[in-house]
Amino acid sequence: MKKISLTLILLFVSFTGSYFLVDDRKAEAANQAKASCQGCHADFTKVLPKEHPPVTENDLSACTSCHTPELAGKAVKNAFSRRMHLAHILPSGKQDCTTCHIWVPGKSFGIKGVKGSLGTPSKEDVAMMQEIFASWGASNFTDNLHAKANIGCTGCHGKTLPKADDTVENGRCLVCHGPMEKLAQKTEPKDFKDRNPHKSHLGDIACKVCHGSHKASKVYCLDCHKKFDMKIQGAGATKQ
Ligand code: HEC
Ligand code: HEC
Ligand code: HEC
Ligand code: HEC
Ligand code: HEC
Ligand code: HEC
Ligand code: HEC
């Protein structure tokens, strides 16, 4: 009796074992199919913008042949990059970068089918980027105002992939928003001309003191001047 139940248990264990193995393989195959563009887009023509030139192949290299990636880190707009990232950001923020990127943690982070690497991010670095991508895609902060204007991470952070404690100097912002005098002219209030956020007794201070890129912006002047009526873009909470 004892012997029979033992055999039964053994049989059961080996059966469920191989069952899970088959299940694992199926899941892996499904993941691989999903990881290529085709897993989700049987036909690209449906998702490409109207009037777009025809694309015959079905992986990322079909795109990068014309949309040569910008690896130099210039402060420019890139509508292709913006739409590719924005369309694939999951609400959870956990989108899989490796659908399109080849990533060896701590060693390289490239673009499939393209030579060169954007940096050497660790697992923690990529987790942080994923979180910030979600903010860039859907927050009410300055990062989302830039996503809408076709400006990605590179536009502000330059050539190297951003990581913890990185910042962006005023000079980089002013490549697009400067010179400072012109910016100050734009924001000079009509009624109280000296209540100008960009020209005050504070002198030159970091843009990020008021403009939070991945967090809410706030008007620092109001810390001391409670009665000034000043508003700032990107001050909202996260979108519902
Ligand atoms: C996990 C599923 C998935 C994978 C893999 C995937 N996509 Fe998408 N893609 C989507 C979804 C969802 C949308 C949004 C669809 C919509 O708006 O109708 C989208 C949208 C797009 C758009 C439209 C963008 C826009 O702004 O209108 C393009 C182009 C695109 N994908 C290209 C690609 C390419 C190229 C690949 C492979 C490198 C790829 N996708 C891989 C799910 C996927
Ligand atoms: C034969 C060359 C060619 C190929 C291949 C190509 N594109 Fe384009 N694409 C263009 C041109 C030209 C434009 C319009 C000018 C521009 O925005 O660069 C464009 C524009 C776009 C835009 C719109 C940018 C905007 O203004 O909002 C998206 C998105 C896009 N392409 C996605 C893709 C994707 C995804 C692939 C690969 C599946 C791809 N393209 C392959 C030539 C190409
Ligand atoms: C659907 C494809 C796709 C997915 C998913 C994707 N990327 Fe990209 N990514 C690209 C392409 C294509 C480029 C090159 C764009 C260019 O320079 O024209 C790029 C470029 C970049 C750049 C540099 C250029 C820029 O626009 O700032 C960064 C940083 C980047 N990706 C990070 C990520 C991270 C982090 C993830 C995951 C959270 C991710 N990407 C997911 C396609 C993708
Ligand atoms: C409008 C310009 C701008 C854009 C676009 C932008 N960033 Fe930033 N980012 C900044 C600034 C400024 C800081 C420094 C914030 C500070 O010091 O308070 C920063 C900080 C960071 C940090 C360090 C955060 C920390 O807490 O240590 C990371 C990581 C980062 N950005 C990633 C990204 C990624 C990924 C993208 C693209 C999805 C992106 N950024 C797009 C301006 C930008
Ligand atoms: C690559 C160019 C570029 C860089 C670099 C850049 N921006 Fe922008 N920024 C834009 C564009 C384009 C817009 C969209 C509105 C517009 O066209 O002025 C914008 C929008 C804004 C807005 C909202 C303006 C409005 O009217 O809604 C603020 C605030 C801002 N940027 C601040 C910054 C700060 C601070 C930095 C540096 C951390 C920075 N930007 C870096 C191009 C850039
Ligand atoms: C002391 C706080 C403060 C600092 C520091 C600051 N800003 Fe601003 N910024 C503001 C406020 C407040 C507004 C909204 C003013 C308005 O719209 O009239 C604003 C608006 C802007 C706008 C939108 C202008 C428009 O067209 O309406 C841009 C772009 C901008 N800031 C860029 C910068 C850059 C770049 C720096 C750094 C060189 C910077 N700011 C430093 C408070 C600040
Ligand atoms: C750390 C506190 C502090 C901050 C931050 C600050 N101020 Fe002031 N400000 C003062 C003090 C103190 C005075 C002189 C006493 C007074 O008249 O209230 C003053 C005076 C002024 C005056 C002349 C007096 C008045 O009330 O009209 C203006 C205008 C002014 N500040 C504008 C600004 C602007 C614009 C900013 C942001 C760019 C700013 N201040 C940020 C402390 C501050």
pLDDT at 46: 86
Residue 49 lies in a domain: yes
The pocket around ligand 4, CB under 6 angstroms, is made up of 128-129, 132-133, 136, 142-143, 146, 151-153, 155-157, 162-168, 208, 213-214
Q: How many domains does the chain have?
A: 1
Q: Is pLDDT of 140 > 80?
A: yes
- Whether 11 is in the pocket of ligand 1, judged by its Cβ within 6 Å, is no
Task: Indicate yes or no: pTM above 0.75.
Answer: yes
Residue whose structure tokens are 């100050």:
184
Residue 19 predicted with pLDDT over 80:
no
Burial string for 173-206 (b: 16+ CB within 10 Å, else e) reads beeeeeeeeebeeeeeeeeeeebbbbbeeeeeee
Computed on alpha carbons and rounded to an integer, the radius of gyration of the chain in Å comes to 25
Specify the range with the lowest mean pLDDT, choosing from 93-102, 124-133, 168-177, 195-204. Answer: 93-102
Q: How far is the CA of 40 from the centre of ligand 3 (A)?
A: 18
Residue 191 lies in a domain: no
Please give the residue range of the domain that contains residue 21.
1-58
Residue 34 within a domain: yes
Angle at 95 (CA atoms; ends 217, 110), nearest 5 degrees: 95
Residues 5-17: pLDDT tens digits? 544 444 444 444 4
